[in-house]
């Protein structure tokens, strides 16, 4: 007898991790290129020394550190095993079977998966021609089944950022019973005036999602957080799988917050490289939308698979999105130079 597995899961493609090989230049996952600071490593080592004990399931010390860093109340903060887990939990707390989740497309690849796994229905609103959110179309997509809207700002993979004014008028037009998740995974690289923490203060239906995986450089340790009205935070706690934010993750996040000035200063270097890479790519004849994140997007259309394959052959791993485009993470200057050299080759241009 074979086990009964939910038949609808068959339509979710299995996650295919990017190909990796020794010596490859890895510009596929929007990571930072530098490892944790010594103080963060020490905090991790201390946590490991007590690894026989369960972590604090309420993550009190981390939540308090985040609350004071963000100038919100501890009751406004929830931690998760990466912010992707919080995306999943948001579907779980808002949607009954058949309810609708709206998001732009293309956007973060986890949205369709967490929506379907949560028995909800995806309503994908195409990006504008210049690869930004079509907020009017997203508003028009709201029905009486809409429960949740993801707004990825800056958007992964296209890099565009919405302004504060654009977001404010959007949020003011969304019915207040619909939860809006402002996914700010790349907030620290954005110089847009939009700051979800400011926007959530007067709006009980707004949830801000951020992560330690990007600018704070802890992608391998898995910790992210949500900031929202206490009612939403309490609900998130109900669906939270116990102990999924490990003691190591909590300790690393607290130590990273303590070093926030040093870590955030690094984003300036990434932004300078982003500007340099984008200009060089434009000069080489590519279309590159302006990016507010730690990556750039090349809308290569049908040429995307060939370009990505040739890039891999050249030892540089990037992310391909079907026949729409490719995304290249901003790495160290020498890694970026290697990508630019590849992008200037005939094989890349004729991909």
Nearby residues of 293 by Cβ (< 8 Å), 6 or more positions away: 30, 154, 156, 159, 161, 186, 189, 190
- Distance of closest approach, residue 82 Cβ to ligand PMP, in angstroms: 3
The site for ligand PMP (CB under 6 A) is made up of 30, 82-84, 108, 152, 156, 183, 185, 211, 213, 219, 224
- Least gap, CB of 197 to ligand PMP (angstroms): 16
Residue nearest to ligand PMP (CB): 82
Query: Least CB distance from residue 344 to ligand PMP, whole Å?
Result: 28
Least distance (Å) between residue 17 CB and ligand PMP: 13
> Are the CB atoms for 150 and 107 separated by under 8 Å?
yes
| Minimum distance from residue 48 beta carbon to ligand PMP (Å) | 21
Q: Which is nearer to ligand PMP, 99 or 184 (CB)?
A: 184
Beta carbon nearer to ligand PMP, 219 or 257? 219
Nearest CB to ligand PMP, comparing residues 109 and 302: 109
Cα separation, 27 vs 350, whole angstroms: 21
Taken as a whole, the chain contains a residue count of: 351
Minimum CB separation from ligand PMP for residue 65, in Å?
A: 17
Tokens found for residue 335? 């890694």
| In the block, residue with structure tokens 């860093």 | 69
Strand residues in the chain grouped as ranges (E)? 25-26, 77-80, 100-105, 121-126, 146-152, 179-183, 206-211, 224-227, 295-298, 316-317, 319-321, 325-329
Distance CA 339, CA 217 (A): 22
Contact 100, 120 (CB under 8 A): yes
> Which pair of tokens denotes residue 230?
């206490």
Pick between residue 184 and residue 335 the one whose CB is nearest to ligand PMP: 184
Reference 277, options 159, 187, 163, 106; nearest CA is: 159
Q: Which is nearer to ligand PMP, 90 or 300 (CB)?
A: 90
């Amino acid at each position: 007898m074979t086990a009964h597995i939910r038949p609808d899961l068959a339509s979710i493609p299995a996650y295919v991790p990017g190909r990796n090989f020794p010596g490859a230049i890895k510009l596929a996952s929007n990571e930072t290129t530098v490892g944790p600071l010594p103080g963060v490593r020490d905090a991790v080592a201390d946590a490991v020394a007590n690894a026989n004990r369960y972590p604090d399931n309420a993550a009190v010390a981390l939540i308090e550190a985040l609350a004071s860093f963000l100038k919100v109340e501890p009751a406004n903060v929830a931690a998760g095993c990466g912010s992707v887990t919080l995306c999943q939990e948001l579907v779980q707390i808002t949607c009954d079977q058949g309810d609708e989740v709206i998001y732009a497309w293309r956007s973060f690849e986890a949205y369709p998966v967490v929506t379907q796994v949560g028995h909800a229905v995806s309503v994908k609103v195409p990006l504008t021609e210049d690869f930004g959110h079509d907020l009017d179309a997203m508003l028009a997509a709201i029905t009486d089944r809409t429960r949740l809207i993801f707004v990825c700002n800056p958007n992964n993979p296209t890099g565009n950022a919405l302004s504060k004014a654009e977001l404010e008028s959007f949020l003011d037009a969304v019915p207040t019973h619909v939860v809006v998740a402002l996914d700010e995974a790349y907030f620290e690289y954005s110089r847009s005036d939009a700051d979800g923490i400011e926007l959530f203060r007067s709006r009980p239906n707004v949830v801000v999602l951020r992560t330690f995986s990007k600018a704070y450089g802890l992608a391998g340790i898995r910790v992210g957080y949500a900031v929202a009205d206490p009612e939403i935070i309490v609900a998130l706690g109900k669906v939270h799988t116990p102990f999924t934010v490990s003691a190591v993750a909590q300790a690393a996040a607290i130590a990273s917050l303590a070093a926030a000035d040093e870590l955030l200063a690094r984003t300036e270097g990434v932004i300078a490289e982003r500007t340099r890479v984008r200009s060089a790519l434009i000069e080489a004849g590519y279309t590159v939308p302006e990016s507010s994140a730690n990556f750039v997007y090349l809308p290569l259309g049908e040429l995307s698979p060939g370009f990505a394959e040739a890039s891999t052959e050249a030892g540089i791993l990037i992310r391909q999105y079907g026949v729409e485009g490719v995304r290249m993470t901003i790495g160290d200057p020498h890694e970026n130079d290697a990508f630019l050299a590849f992008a200037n080759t005939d094989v890349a241009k004729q991909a």
